Homo-oligomer: A and B are copies of this chain.
Amino acid sequence: MHTRDQRFARRTERMQGSAIRELLKVTEIPGTISLAGGLPASDIFPVQQVAEATQRILKNNPAQALQYGTTEGYTPLRELIIERMRQKGIHATVDNILIVSGSQQGLDLIAKILVDPNDRLLVEEPTYMGALQAFNPYEPRYIAVRSDDQGIVTEELEAALQQGPKCLYALPNFQNPSGVTYTLERRQQLVELAGRYNVTILEDDPYSELRFEGEHLPSLLALEQQRVQQPPERPYAGNVIQFNTFSKILTPGLRLGWVVAPAEVIRMLVLAKQGTDLHTSTFNQLVAYELMRDGFLESHIPLIRETYRQRCNAMLDALERYFPEGVRWTRPQGGMFLWVTLPEHIDAAQLLSRALEYKIAFVPGAAFHPCGGGQNTMRLSFSSSSPEQIDEGIKRLGSLLKDTL
């Protein structure tokens, strides 16, 4: 068997998925409070509406719903997505949209068509671990640019862009893992600089609709359309590729997302996707279509926002109450995560093994650092636990931290 392949071992050695995976197993032990997983709140899943949508589809359109479909995705769904973008002032045609099996697949496919071994990819630090897992098999080298509480530090960006990265991966809203949101100024600088250096921006945007505080800010895609003065009637052809998902606004179990990109990029993504899995589940696409078409999706998102606002506030309150001096954390305006920085001598991975004895789980931050570092950081998720669980979990963690410091 040739599978102990040196090259794949190299490709995968930085795939730090196993740490989280092992964690998720431990968190199945009864009584454990997990602030580790990136799970949306299942207690507010729109179960009844999904059930009704499946029945409508199987009554009215079963032969299409259960049959093979085109690789690009269900056209009426792509049209609804475009209409929704238009209402936010972003212009695209169906040729700019590819339906994918979750935005993770979009990240894999874009790397498949863009990234050759040793190509440079510019990322924030910390950045989303799942994106690194998508990119790593294609063997890029990472250039990391520091992030602060206003997002990627654009003062340090130009030097990085001069190293000739093929693209720049950015998560501007309520970032996973840090919970940080780019300011408008940073967004504008980023888009302007990337345009000047002709570096494609991969904008990962799973959380933007989950804002529970402050004002909505334009996406990098929207700013790019302003920069290139995108004509409303023409296909989009700019420098930003955007990755979106239904996982955070509907349910993750359907595995549905979409990519917005210039038509020539979509054509290549379609070829790549065709070889990868032919197409995304027709049935699930029709479910999403049904739930968008009748307006349910729009009416559901405020419930998610309000739920996460309460849970985030519960976590912030508990952090104030239980965490010792010398520990810092971010204050997210939306999304599912916040980020804790411990005193430098504390190793979060070591802390985790003790935390699990206290039946409390989190994700150590090192895995979100593609170029090393971050040992004294951790990601806490507030989306899938009740305020009471969050309070109890942070209390346990705070008491452990006080012992450790």
The interface bits of chain A over 251-265 (1 if a CB of B lies within 8 angstroms of the residue's CB, else 0) are 111110000001011
A55-B55, A278-B102, A278-B130 are contacts. A2–B62 as well, Cβ < 8 Å? no
Find out whether the CB atom of B113 lies under 8 angstroms from the CB atom of A66: no
Main secondary structure of the interface of A (DSSP, over half): helix
* Partner-contacting stretch, out of A131-139, A344-352, A355-363, A387-395: A131-139
B68 lies within 8 A of A275 (CB)? no
A55 — nearest CB in chain B belongs to which residue?
A: B51
Is A281 touching B278 in the complex (CB atoms < 8 A)?
Answer: no
Asked if B137 contacts A112 (CB within 8 A), the reply is yes
| Selected interface stretch from A4-12, A77-85, A364-372 | A4-12
Q: A45-B62, A200-B1 are in contact. Are A253 and B281 (CB under 8 A)?
A: yes
Bound-complex Cα distance A105 to B265 (A): 21
A187 at interface, CB cutoff 8 A: no
Chain A positions 189-230 with a Cβ under 8 Å from a chain B Cβ: 198, 200
Which of B47, B68, B133, B137 interacts with A253 by CB under 8 Å? B68
Q: Which residue of B lies closest to A269 (CB)?
A: B3
- Identify the closest chain B residue to A43 (Cβ): B63
Q: Is the CB of A137 within 8 A of B275?
A: yes
Tell me, yes or no, whether A235 is within 8 Å of chain B by CB: no
Q: Is A274 an interface residue (CB 8 A)?
A: yes
Contact B67 A105 (CB under 8 A): no
- Cβ of A92 within 8 Å of any chain B Cβ, yes or no, is no
Residues of B close to A39: CB separation below 8 A = 67-68
- Chain B residues with Cβ below 8 Å from A157 are none
Is A149 interfacial (CB 8 A cutoff)?
no
Q: How far is the CB of A386 from chain B (nearest CB, A)?
A: 14
User: A38-B68, A135-B275 given. 12 additional CB < 8 A pairs?
Assistant: A1-B262, A3-B265, A3-B268, A8-B113, A42-B67, A45-B66, A47-B66, A67-B251, A101-B281, A254-B283, A255-B278, A281-B281
